[in-house]
Amino acid sequence: MKTNTLSTDVELAKTDPRIKLITAKIKKENYKPDALIEILHTAQNAYGYLPMSVLKFITKALHLPPSRVYSTVTFYHFFSLKSKGEHTCLVCTGTACYVKGAQLILNEIEKQFALKPGQVTADNKLGVSVARCIGACGLAPAVVLDEEVHAKVSAEEIVNSINAKIAV
Amino acid sequence: MNRQDLQTIIYAEKAKEQNNKYKHKLCVCCGAGCISSGSEEVLKKLQEEVVTRGLEAEVEVIATGCMGPCNQGPLIKFLPEYTIYQKVDCSNIKEIVQRQLIEKKPIEDLLLFADSRTKPFIDAREDPYYKKQMKIALKNCGHINPERIEDYLVHDGYHALDKVLFQMSPEEVIAEIKQSRMRGRGGAGYPTGLKWETVYKYVSPQKYVICNGDEGDPGAFMDRSVLEGNPHRVLEGMTIAAYAVGATKGFAYIRGEYPLAIKRFELAIKQAKKLGVLGNNILGTEFSFDVEVRIGAGAFVCGEETALIASIEGKRGTPRPRPPFPAESGLWGKPTLINNVETFAGISPIINNGGEWYSDIGTPKSAGTKVFALAGKINYSGLIEVPMGTTLREIVFDIGGGIQGGGEFKAAQTGGPSGGCIPAEYLDVKMDYESLTSLGSIMGSGGLIVMDQSSDMVDVARYFMEFCMDESCGKCVPCRVGTKMMHDLLKKICEEKGTRIDLERLEELAVYVRECSLCGLGASAPNPLLSTLRHFRHEYENRITE
Amino acid sequence: MPKISVTIDDKKLDVDVGKTILEICKESGIEILTMCHLKGLTDVGACRLCLVEIEGINKLLSACTTKIAANMIIRTKTEKIKRYQRITSELFFAERNHVCSVCVANGKCDLQKLGYKTEMDHIRYPYLFPECNVDTSHPWYVLDHNRCIMCTRCVRACGEVEGAHNWNVMNRGYQVRVISDFDTPWGESVTCTSCGKCVHACPTGAIWPKAIVQGQLEKKPEIIAELIEKRKMNL
């Protein structure tokens, strides 16, 4: 009935080269459970999200209860349990961007790609998400497309940039 | 490295400056705002241009932190003339260098605010934008290269730390801070000296100092600019605090959304350790202090000190009831001092110039200066620092250049989702802790969002309530359920489906959530709602269906 | 133990130092409403039912987490506090799907009792009607999220007393849910020892043993404190 799913997933994870990055970070942090969030950051940077196998690997390495890890991961918005797509489009909805029409950009994206924030296209090409504030308020409205900041963009401009990205 | 070695470096650097090796210093703003406008490209082109013209022996080009008017970027500042060019494009760099450096005839059309002033100022310090400001926390931002500790050393960097370690006892440091009457810049305005004294009084073999850089208010970027523009100033403030309260270990908790701030602060720690102003036996004394960076993972509630502590401990960032306060039982149950980035940035000037000097600035109850992040429908959005007690009118119209598109000022939101709005009839309010509280708003961390007549205040209240609802940690009932209920009711009113009974329920819930919530997030979540109800009640009434 | 004098609801009392306001009130027969408090577990001050007014302090403090201090003047039953307790009670009921008539805990439920005590005759706020699962994967027990009030007594009983750490809380805000392991079905948890402490700690019909019907639930929340006492004796 109860199978130890934890260890099988951990074995799986070991075949992934990116796990080395995480192991190095865990070692650097002296296997301290307090460093859980730091280690999750490393994992998220390496994978773009937190696959379950990686979470299980970290849980085992730090000797933490699974529920403690899962509760922490789901508390912070930075961590995602789902892949966000090959290309990511992050629309800032901070106050300045809100005042200057971030919603119009989101509406246009929804119209063009049928994506709401948090969703990914069926072919996993494009994922759209929102940020509470990326701190570039002077450049509102701002959109981060694959790590590049597009400042003072119009809905039309950003749709064109996205099309250029996913066409490749 | 001991004290003498450091002095040698400072003398050498100062001599280099005085020998006037460079006749001109060209500062390119590389704050996060200008970088997104393409300032890194401008920096590269400018450096190339200087080399092409063979001017590298007399012209120094450096990347600096934020200069202020973010939406006018990329910015280039020419020193010593203090001439600033705005919205610099790679294509006009050649011309700017030719006219400014060779012909000494600045291109007026490209100067800062050329598009809105009848005659722009060649010396930008003459412009009301800078004239009305007073920079203490931001003093060196925009003048020095934040990635070089030597630049900071030349500008009195770590001088205050030296003074504290060799001439002052911890008690004297605390007395100086108390005399300055400085209040915490994180929002609540608790007297900084008193906080330090409380931590100092608890006897414990281990104490901690935490720098709160989890600036989560939408529309605020003060801490970001300080951390990016002058990280050493914050680090020095933390080290002085650690000496005063008897801590040996510190954490800087910085938002994950600020990768540049994290990078520069980590670099600053490395440089400071190398020069012996951080780490073991600082400047050869018995005093040791180490700082680690912790990266926030996207939770506004972590700005609340007990939640921030839980987060540093690697847990869910849920607050716990106070008392006990962190000063008694904080990180891992040890006495902990938590101050905001801007508070720490203000420490070394107080030590260098004396508490009395600082307490003379500002108003009787709120001493010193405050950094505000201007955003919204304002002409010059960006970062400013003004003495406490400057009026809202001066900030919006003299410094901020008035309302965008010639619109009409309707209200300004201070304190973000925890604050409230200030309507036009209070434009002459003096910006200090007490005056803002009496208007139903708060000083908060310094976000200031300007709204014009097109803003719908009920929707603004709904927007901030949605924010609080999403950011509620879910631990206590009033905040978890109350913010959701209030949001749903506000949405209903926005959609013109609300009734008078809904409005009554909304007001009752707002007072309940404010009084019963466990932490500051819940307690202040109803503020935008209550303040818009107070000043713009008719907008609610007009939406009600009977 | 040294004594200090305090005033609670206009009654002068000489009480022990080092205890919480809630402990003192319980010892002195002063009733304070609670929901997230359970004797034996760490107090978290989450339900906000035990808020009291203390003279000289401008905000309400939770009795379960605030230590008593000399000369405190405490009020536990002012009109304001009663009004707030009623709102809290209403919010509990409106948050999830509490239908007493079909609930196993009917008649034995702390939430139901709270409704009576706060004289809640109807609920003035719109019900949120969230979609909630019922986890029946465990061979002996059921977890019904519809009845959960997020008091986290099960989480603390499991972690602090049993030491299994099967339970925790996921998400945030109004989307919080109690989870076992990685939000794994309870029956597939690798940490659960099936000890049943959470069943007794739960104040409502959210966690209950299988094979009982409506109104038959018998819970012994005092078992947690008893266990802790017995363990001390063994030592």
pLDDT of residue A4: 46
* Tokens 């072919």 -> residue: A123
pLDDT of residue C8: 96
What is the dotted CATH code of the domain comprising A87-167?
A: 3.40.30.10
Query: Smallest Cβ distance to A67: which of C171, C172, C179?
Result: C179
Report d(CA A133, CA A163) in Å as an integer. 24
- CB proximity list for C60: less than 8 A, separation 6 or greater: B515, B516, C51, C52, C53, C81, C84
pLDDT of residue A10: 58
Q: Do A5 and C190 touch (CB under 8 A)?
A: yes
Of the candidates B307, B298, B217, B310, the one whose C-alpha atom is nearest the C-alpha of residue B517 is: B307
Average pLDDT, chain C: 94
Q: Do B508 and C47 touch (CB under 8 A)?
A: no
Nearest-CA distance A45 → chain B (Å) = 11
Of the candidates C24, C224, A142, C111, the one whose C-alpha atom is nearest the C-alpha of residue B71 is: A142
Query: Above 60 in pLDDT, residue A9?
Result: no
pLDDT of residue A1: 37
CB half-sphere exposure, B50, CA atoms < 13 A: 21
Q: List Cβ<8 Å contacts ≥24 apart for C111-115.
A: C111/C35, C111/C149, C111/C203, C111/C204, C114/C33, C114/C35, C114/C49, C114/C89, C115/C89
Q: Do B474 and C126 touch (CB under 8 A)?
A: no
Residue boundaries of the structural domains of chain A:
5-75, 87-167
Neighbours of chain A (3+ CB pairs under 8 A): B, C
* pLDDT by residue, tens only, chain B of 546 residues: 678 888 888 878 777 777 666 788 899 998 888 888 889 999 999 999 999 998 888 898 999 988 999 889 899 999 888 999 999 999 989 999 999 988 988 998 899 998 888 888 999 999 989 999 999 999 888 889 999 999 999 888 999 999 999 999 999 999 999 999 999 998 788 999 999 999 999 999 999 999 999 988 887 889 999 999 999 999 999 999 999 999 999 999 999 888 889 999 999 999 999 999 999 999 999 999 999 999 999 899 999 999 999 999 999 999 999 989 999 999 999 999 999 999 999 999 999 999 999 999 999 899 999 999 999 999 999 899 999 999 999 999 999 999 998 899 999 999 989 999 999 999 999 999 999 999 989 988 889 999 999 999 999 999 999 999 999 999 999 999 999 999 999 999 999 999 999 999 999 999 999 999 999 999 999 999 999 999 999 999 999 987
pLDDT of residue C122: 93
* Tokens encoding B348: 């070394």
Which one of B301, B302, B316, B480 makes the best mutation probe of the C interface by having the most chain C beta carbons within 10 Å? B480
Give the phi and the psi of residue B413 in degrees, each rounded to 5. -100, 120
Distances (CA, A) of C5 to B199, C12, C23, C69, C71: 28, 7, 15, 8, 6
- Name the percent of chain A lying above pLDDT 70: 87
- B451 and chain A: CB distance < 8 Å anywhere? yes
Neighbours of chain C (3+ CB pairs under 8 A): A, B
Q: Which residue of C has its CA nearest to A2?
A: C188
Sheet with B249-254, side-by-side order of all strands:
B290-295, B249-254, B208-213, B336-340
3-state secondary structure chain C: CCEEEEEECCEEEEEECCCEHHHHHHHCCCCCCCCCCCCCCCCCCCCCCCEEEECCCCCCEECCCCECCCCCEEECCCHHHHHHHHHHHHHHHHHCCCCHHHCCCCCCCHHHHHHHHCCCCCCCCCCCCCCCCEECCCCCEEEEHHHCCCCCHHHHHHHHHHCCCCEEEECCHHHCEEEECCCCCHHHCCCCCCCCHHHHHCCCCCEEECCCCCCCCCCCCCHHHHHHHHHHHHC
* Tokens encoding B340: 């905001």
| Banded pLDDT at A2 (limits 50, 70, 90) | very low
Of the candidates B425, B435, B420, B428, the one whose C-alpha atom is nearest the C-alpha of residue B391 is: B428
* Tokens encoding C212: 């009982």
Report d(CA B58, CA B20) in Å as an integer. 9
* Tokens encoding B403: 């309302």
**C-beta atoms surrounding C193 within 10 Å:** 12
Contacts of C182 in chain A (CB under 8 A): 52, 55-56, 66-67, 69-70
Q: What is the ipTM of this complex?
A: 0.96
- Domains in chain C, ordered, with CATH? 3-77 (3.10.20.740), 102-234 (3.30.70.20)
C28 and C13 Cβ atoms separated by less than 8 Å: yes
Sheet with B409-414, side-by-side order of all strands:
B382-387, B369-376, B447-452, B409-414, B420-423
Averaged pLDDT, C76-93: 97
CA of residue B319 relative to chain centroid, distance: 23
Distances (CA, A) of B207 to B239, B265, B310, B322, C194: 13, 22, 16, 18, 41
- Domains in chain B, ordered, with CATH? 21-124 (3.40.30.10), 149-358 (3.40.50.11540), 370-452 (3.10.20.600), 457-543 (1.20.1440.230)
pLDDT of residue A159: 92
Where are the strands (E) in chain A, listed by range? 87-92, 126-131, 143-145, 148-150
pLDDT of residue C178: 97
Q: Look at chain B and count its residues.
A: 546
Q: What is the dihedral of CA A68, A74, A75, A80, to 10 degrees?
A: 130
SS3 category, B355: helix
- B382-387 and B369-376 beta bridge pairing: antiparallel
pLDDT of residue A13: 54
Q: Do A138 and B218 touch (CB under 8 A)?
A: no
Of the candidates C216, C219, C226, C229, the one whose C-alpha atom is nearest the C-alpha of residue C199 is: C219
**C-beta atoms surrounding B198 within 10 Å:** 18
Query: Smallest Cβ distance to C182: which of A1, A2, A55?
Result: A55
B360 and B349 Cβ atoms separated by less than 8 Å: no
* Tokens encoding B32: 């996060």
* Interhelix angle C79-95/B477-494, nearest 10 degrees: 70
Contacts of C166 in chain A (CB under 8 A): 65, 67
- A8 and chain C: CB distance < 8 Å anywhere? no
* Tokens encoding A101: 């029409």
**C-beta atoms surrounding B406 within 10 Å:** 8
Report d(CA B260, CA C138) in Å as an integer. 48
